[in-house]
Structure 1
Amino acid sequence: MDVTRLSALSDAVMDVAKGEDLKTSLNRLIQNAVLITDCTYGALGSITADGTLEDFTFVGMSDETADEIDTFPEGKGLLGHLLAVPQPLRVSVIGEHPSSVGFPKGHPMMSGFLGVPIRIRDELFGSIYLTQKRNGKSFTEEDENLVVVLASAAGVAIDSYRGHIAQNQVVVLAERERIARDLHDLVIQRLFASGISLHSIVSDPLLSEDVQGKIQSVLDNLDSTVQQIRTTIFALLDQHPIADIRTLIMSEIASLSATAGFQISYSFLGPIDTVIGEDLTKQVIPVIRELITNAIRHAQANAIDLVVLANQTYCEIRVVDDGKGYIPGERKSGLLNLERRALARGGEFEILGNRVSGTRTMWRVSL
């Protein structure tokens, strides 16, 4: 292994360790993997809890080319083989491997393939995929060893990120407990004491019925307030220390805003923290990412507004932009994927032109 490649590998590992947000770190890792192995295309796919391919980030392919692909990777073929057998896989000709299923319509033709799984301790997170080594060459054992090191660095970065999130959640939970204690010890006790004082007054026979009625109304309001505060206390204490969907969405918006070059506005309507479970969260984040990325890249928007709404019946995501507008009948692979996600959960996906300019999109699924 020559000094240049070792130096590039060292730089790539240090790049991952910089502590940037996870999405940026992993994207740069794929870019570095492509450079170090001297190939054309690179990607990183993460998997769901049931072992299917979920998120897919790629480099080396233009947005226009990606939009022409009929379907996004679904974990079939060689990608599926890596999920079933999470060991480094190096193939000179993709079509000659027994697991190969060909390429979807619109997909660029590719020859050589190198796939390396990313592990976080004993957990399989996903894989790095590299294809089409330049000058018609095949990936070498040295290429494989270099990417294995990068995959290890990615595993450490992801594990560190999760630890950081967990630490933040511990701080948040501790703060919630403190607020709950203060509400009980300082607020409820004082309201209770005030209520006792008023009870002793309302029965005074010297008071008129009108005054007694007003005092009783205040007592009723105090009782109602105490019940509401107790409900709030229970809600504060009944928080499972898993990723908060609001935090995840805001983190995603921060990353997308940096890409867009302007602040994306957002709002939440309804009890999204309680009705959107972990399973749906894994759908909501990629949907938001795809809708906003589409508005940034293709609609060339200068303003984007996101609304996430949830009630006991459904979850709805709305995105409004001021871009160049949507051409009816022109749904690219990313948007078709969103439609399939919605239909799979008994929902719907709509794209509408805005009143003046731009586009309104709505993704809704049943709960």
Structure 2
Amino acid sequence: MRASKGARRGRREAGMGDAEGLGAGQGATLHAVSSAVLAVTRHLSVHEVLQVIVRAAAQLLDARYAALGVPDDEGSFAEFVVEGVSEEEWERIGPLPRQHGMLAAMLHGDTPKRLADIRREPEFEGWPVAHPVLKDFLGVPIKDGEDVLGIIFLANKKRPGGFTQDDQDVLALFAAHAAIAMANARLYEHNRELTVVAERNRLARELHDAVAQKLFSLRLTARTASALADKDPVRTVQELEQVERLAADALAELRAVIFELRPADLADGLVASLRKHAEVLDRAHETAVRFTAAEPVVLAEEQEAVVLRIAQEAVYNALRHAGAGTVDVSLLVRDGSAVLEVADDGSGFDASEGDQQGGLGLASMRDRACSIGGTFGVDAAPGRGTRVRLEVPL
């Protein structure tokens, strides 16, 4: 059946085409749900995902107010995100709500609630004076199996008539996809925490293996020089020269670790930051460190931070372990991906044996790459240098 002129115009305005095998209304609804789901899954942090879920739900069902509560184990909410309420209004409302009244009924009942007027329900409990007046209400749990991850609340549909059964079905469908996005965001943040712990452990090893051992040697050499001062002046001078060399080595190692600990400065963009990093290392080391970039490369902020971090670690490995004369860093765009390469002409290693040397951090770099949807590879062999390659889809 041919759709009416108004229906066709409505779909064009929403940026939607006909869905094959579906009526116009169903096709538009599924497209709207799909768009909302895609908007949610573009984000990785839990808080961002919650905010986008609330905003998308309000737009999807034309609600004036929307909220998403994530319950904690203490009778309150770990997070409570709202849409339609300004920051000033939210401050006047006061502390996060407790799990009582309708909120408790939703959490414990574990089923959708659709009400013509929430104020007439037995579970209704008055809100703070500054709270907006709510009337028609729709609440749907966000579930992962039997676990309730949170609840989406909508209130005051902008068009007359309140929320319908179709609205409830659409919100339930959206909530099922939102549950996947929330679970993925939690896993991502957990992996980030594990990566931070691994990085701290690696830096602790660096401090112990490099700096602490050199300081211990420096202390012993200084004691030897002190003991020989009266008996053997020539030997004393030699020992003091050794003290100076050890102190210089320890200072260089400490500077390298401190340099790694400094937060990456991406204020000027990824390309500028990589170029600045290469220039600093080129001045500080005898090894030539060069950087090339064919064009500006723009990634999400989180992706840029990971690319910079992997570049730093790969260059550090080349300077520290490879004995390289030259390190080339490049950032290019190929086939829809940003491609980072760090290549050196140093001693190389057997890539088939993995990171058995313990200090290269290849597993950490690979995990970082996976965390932003990138692919990581190493091409290396004894005597012919090392090439680290990272690809991140644009």
Please give the TM-score of this superposition, normalised by the length of structure 1: 0.50
* Cα distance in 1 between the residues matched to 2:43 and 2:58: 21
Q: Which of the numbers 151, 168, 177 marks the counterpart of 1:127?
A: 151
Matching residue of 1:48: 72
Would you say the 8 A contact 2:45–2:188 is kept in 1? no
2:230 counterpart SS class: coil
Q: Could you give the per-residue CA deviations for residues 84-139 of structure 1, whole angstroms, max 9, x where no partner exists?
A: 32322222221232211133213332222111122345543321101122344242
* Cα distance in 2 between the residues matched to 1:193 and 1:63: 59
AA aligned opposite 1:44: L
Count of matched residue pairs: 217
Matching residue of 2:178: 154
Q: How does 1:30-179 map to 2 (within 5 A)?
A: 30-63=54-87, 65-66=89-90, 68-69=92-93, 73-179=97-203
- Of the two structures, which has the highest relative contact order with CA contacts closer than 8 Å and spacing of 6 or more? 1
AA aligned opposite 2:186: R
* Cα distance in 2 between the residues matched to 1:140 and 1:183: 63
Could you tell me how far 1:82 is from its partner in structure 2?
A: 1.6
Q: How does 1:232-271 map to 2 (within 5 A)?
A: none
Would you say the 8 A contact 2:75–2:99 is kept in 1? no
Q: Could you give the per-residue CA deviations for residues 251-284 of structure 1, whole angstroms, max 9, x where no partner exists?
A: xxxxxxxxxxxxxxxxxxxxxxxxxxxxxxxxxx
Matching residue of 1:185: 209
Please give the TM-score of this superposition, normalised by the length of structure 2: 0.47
Check 1:161–1:67 CA distance in 2 against 1; reply closer, same or farther (3 A cut): closer
Q: Could you give the per-residue CA deviations for residues 182-210 of structure 1, whole angstroms, max 9, x where no partner exists?
A: 222222222223333333343348269xx
Check 1:18–1:202 CA distance in 2 against 1; reply closer, same or farther (3 A cut): same
AA aligned opposite 1:97: E
Would you say the 8 A contact 1:46–1:125 is kept in 2? yes
AA aligned opposite 1:95: R
Q: Which of the numbers 185, 196, 200 marks the counterpart of 2:220?
A: 196
Would you say the 8 A contact 2:32–2:60 is kept in 1? yes
- Mark the runs of 5 or more structure 1 residues left unpaired by the alignment: 227-246, 248-367
Check 1:72–1:165 CA distance in 2 against 1; reply closer, same or farther (3 A cut): closer
Larger radius of gyration: 2
Matching residue of 1:12: 36
- Mark the runs of 5 or more structure 2 residues left unpaired by the alignment: 1-24, 251-262, 264-394
Check 1:69–1:174 CA distance in 2 against 1; reply closer, same or farther (3 A cut): closer
1:193 counterpart SS class: helix
